[in-house]
């Protein structure tokens, strides 16, 4: 089950009873990857998303992991820092969101008071970056306390680590900017500290090389992500998770390249995600284009998706109007097979 932001945490970014039911319903998955969970108050950028930075959040997540484990399912927590895709209303003391460079993304932030234009972020200083790395380390330790089976580092979709990787959002001239080596440095340092907590084989990384969200751009995405893969090959990761965008989803066709090349480069377990159905998923695995396939929208509408696949049963259709926020409708009320 792919990570899916659903905006249904309680006040204080604390998972609640409805979240326990949601994940327990989907425990027939071989692996659940949770929705992104902010590693600190600074890492937040959306309403009602869960965190993993205080004891109340740890205790609430523990109820979820216990429930999932009773169904013999494994569950990884996704560690999330949104970077510049935030708004001062989410930040401690109303401060600016942080990023590698002070470049405002196009678009609007979804806040508790409606949509608001993104702001120009604060460019992290060299002295501030160690604190971000420490936020990931502490969150990894908290995930361990909460009973997870591993963690997935969110380095995709225009959020903080992705912003450092791509040169459209990273204009730094210090050791975290410029060259490919420098732009991947923060991701590597985060993987290192999280691996010290979990062991490399319980740590995963998610990338989205073609994702345009958040005004993301790179002058040579194939070269950039080839370098990222080479750096990640130095770790014995649980898996590498690639969000595959079609050429239609990529706003600038010059950004597009064949992501199958990354499969050939990566030496470990390779997971893909992106509008797969059963037939496409099986074909991908049979052609050795992937080892694992993560399903998102299909799992939203079909809590018993593996059973439906096994029986070749009809699938419930998801309701996009209920994806983000709300209560049980469109969250825990999709029917199981009878």
b/e for 122-131, b at 16 or more Cβ within 10 A? bbbeeeebee
Q: Which residues contact 87 (CB under 8 A, 6 or more apart)?
A: 45, 97, 109, 111, 116, 118, 119
Q: Name the pLDDT band for 120 (thresholds 50, 70, 90).
A: very high
* Cβ(27)–Cβ(69) below 8 Å: no
pLDDT for 337 equals 95
pLDDT for 254 equals 78
Global pTM reads: 0.97
| Residue 238 token pair | 């649980």
Percent helix / strand / coil, the chain, rounded to 5: 35, 15, 50
| Residue 335 token pair | 């029917």
Condensed to tens digits (0 to 9), the pLDDT of residues 22-64 reads 999 999 999 999 999 999 999 999 999 999 999 999 999 999 9
Is the pLDDT at 246 greater than 80? The verdict is: no
* Cβ(139)–Cβ(157) below 8 Å: no
Q: Active-site positions? A: 159
Architecture of domain 17-322: Alpha-Beta Barrel (3.20)
* Phi, psi angles (nearest 5°) of residue 191: -60, -40
Rounded to whole angstroms, what are the CA distances from 31 to 117, 146, 174, 203, 239? 36, 17, 39, 13, 12
Mean pLDDT of the chain: 97
Condensed to tens digits (0 to 9), the pLDDT of residues 74-95 reads 999 999 999 999 999 999 999 9
């Amino acid at each position: 089950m792919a990570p899916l932001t659903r905006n249904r945490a309680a006040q204080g970014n604390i998972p609640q009873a409805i979240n326990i039911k949601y994940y327990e319903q989907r425990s027939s998955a071989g692996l659940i990857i949770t929705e992104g969970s902010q590693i600190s108050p600074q890492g937040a950028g959306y309403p009602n998303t869960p965190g993993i930075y205080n004891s109340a959040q740890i205790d609430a997540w523990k109820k979820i992991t216990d429930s999932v484990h009773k169904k013999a399912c494994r569950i990884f927590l996704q560690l999330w820092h949104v970077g510049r895709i935030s708004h001062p209303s989410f930040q401690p003391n109303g401060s600016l969101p942080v990023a590698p460079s002070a470049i405002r993304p196009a678009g609007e932030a979804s806040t508790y008071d409606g949509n608001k234009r993104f702001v120009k972020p604060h460019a992290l200083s060299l002295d501030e970056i160690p604190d971000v790395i420490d936020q990931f380390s502490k969150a990894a330790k908290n995930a361990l306390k909460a009973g997870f089976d591993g963690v997935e580092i969110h380095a995709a979709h225009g959020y903080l680590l992705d912003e450092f990787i791509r040169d459209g959002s990273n204009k730094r001239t210090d050791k975290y900017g410029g060259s490919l080596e420098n732009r991947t440095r923060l991701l590597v340092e985060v993987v290192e500290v999280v691996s010290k907590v979990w062991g490399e084989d319980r740590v995963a990384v998610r990338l989205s090389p073609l994702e345009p969200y958040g005004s993301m751009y790179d002058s040579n995405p194939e070269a950039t992500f080839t370098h990222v893969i080479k750096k990640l090959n130095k770790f014995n990761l649980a898996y590498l998770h690639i969000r595959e965008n079609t050429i239609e989803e990529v706003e600038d066709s010059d950004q597009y390249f064949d992501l199958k090349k990354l499969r050939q480069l990566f030496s470990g377990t390779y997971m893909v995600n992106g509008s797969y159905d059963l037939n496409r998923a099986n074909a991908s695995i049979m052609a050795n284009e992937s080892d694992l396939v993560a399903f998102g929208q299909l799992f939203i509408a079909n809590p018993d998706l593996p059973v439906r696949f096994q029986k070749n049963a009809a699938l419930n259709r998801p309701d996009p109007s209920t994806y983000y926020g709300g209560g049980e409708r469109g969250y825990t009320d999709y029917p199981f097979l009878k």
